[in-house]
Structure 1
């Protein structure tokens, strides 16, 4: 049985005003992504940082060379193919989400912010577990997994048309 510790750090308090029980939304999304991936070690931890655009812009500039905010950044600390470290708990890494950018994206697509946040946490968690979207084939695998996880959570496909059975 996998034991996953999910720490949610709220650096931007506007998240708490905009999303009810925001910490639980994040934990639920990260756990769902990890369970669906079949790549999670027996005991692991993830940190989810709910930040503002300035913090994400700084991180994006310092670590990716892009001087602009983005909706989500993932900083993986674990490689499933690396030799076993012997640690009791494996740190998978950090997912950092920008309030302003995520909120603007949600508004632009007509998606409730809690659902968009769920998608971003799922997406970021999958990155921590080694998924990426650099090639078309890798993107298809990752997006397919995201869609399946979100569907199980009752959230529409963020890459396509809404499910026909939802109102």
Structure 2
């Protein structure tokens, strides 16, 4: 069962484009996924830390992917860290996570999983990137996947990597 967000933790949520669920549903989903990540990983932030989540469409995320990663294509999730931690403690500006609606929706359908479960996975995946977790080499990828699976299991979400390739290619 997920815990609580750290003291004063703020999720700044913005709907830019796409056919996303209502803001209240996105907020509930994000809070639940992020809370579980804090419980399972013991991530540390200063009081009153903020993370921004931007929900856009494939055109919007494609522009960001082209500008910041030189990849002129849409993707599911992008993470933009907000600053350097003080040791292992992050904040107060944790960073931004951006989601592309059509890609997220298409992947959920292709994987045969609930849209909310897939989005929860991508929220967790994007958040871990803000804490310097990565999947550039096999060892890093295994650690990140292990954390994601534990966090998602605490939410009652099946292993997203069981018999499937890594789907979070955008970050």
TM-score (norm 1): 0.85
In structure 1, the residue matched to 2:72 is 67
- Tell me, in whole angstroms, the C-alpha distance in 1 between the residues paired with 2:134 and 2:18: 30
CA distance change for structure 1 residues 42 and 36 in 2, over 3 Å: closer, same or farther? farther
Q: Could you say what the CA RMSD is over the residues aligned between the two structures, in angstroms? A: 2.5
Report matched runs for 1:71-110 at 5 Å: 71-80=76-85, 90-110=92-112
User: How far did 1:124 drift?
Assistant: 0.2
Q: What residue ranges of structure 2 are gaps of 5+ in the alignment? A: 164-171
- 2:34 is equivalent to residue 40 of structure 1: no
CA distance change for structure 1 residues 134 and 15 in 2, over 3 Å: closer, same or farther? same
User: Contact 1:5/1:46 (CA < 8 Å) preserved in 2?
Assistant: yes
User: Contact 2:135/2:144 (CA < 8 Å) preserved in 1?
Assistant: yes
Q: Aligned to 1:12, what secondary structure does the other structure show?
A: coil
Q: What residue ranges of structure 1 are gaps of 5+ in the alignment? A: 162-167
In structure 1, the residue matched to 2:135 is 133
Bigger Cα Rg: 1
Which ranges of 4 or more aligned residues in structure 1 deviate by more than 4 Å? 81-85
User: How far did 1:7 drift?
Assistant: 1.4
User: Contact 1:70/1:101 (CA < 8 Å) preserved in 2?
Assistant: yes
- Tell me, in whole angstroms, the C-alpha distance in 1 between the residues paired with 2:89 and 2:108: 40
User: Contact 1:8/1:27 (CA < 8 Å) preserved in 2?
Assistant: no
User: Contact 2:125/2:148 (CA < 8 Å) preserved in 1?
Assistant: yes
Q: Aligned to 1:70, what secondary structure does the other structure show?
A: coil
User: Contact 1:8/1:23 (CA < 8 Å) preserved in 2?
Assistant: yes
- Tell me, in whole angstroms, the C-alpha distance in 2 between the residues paired with 1:5 and 1:37: 19
CA distance change for structure 1 residues 108 and 129 in 2, over 3 Å: closer, same or farther? same
User: How far did 1:40 drift?
Assistant: 2.1
TM-score (norm 2): 0.83
- 2:17 is equivalent to residue 15 of structure 1: no
- Tell me, in whole angstroms, the C-alpha distance in 1 between the residues paired with 2:35 and 2:80: 17
Aligned residues: 158
In structure 2, the residue matched to 1:164 is none
CA distance change for structure 1 residues 54 and 13 in 2, over 3 Å: closer, same or farther? closer
In structure 1, the residue matched to 2:34 is 30
CA distance change for structure 1 residues 27 and 12 in 2, over 3 Å: closer, same or farther? farther
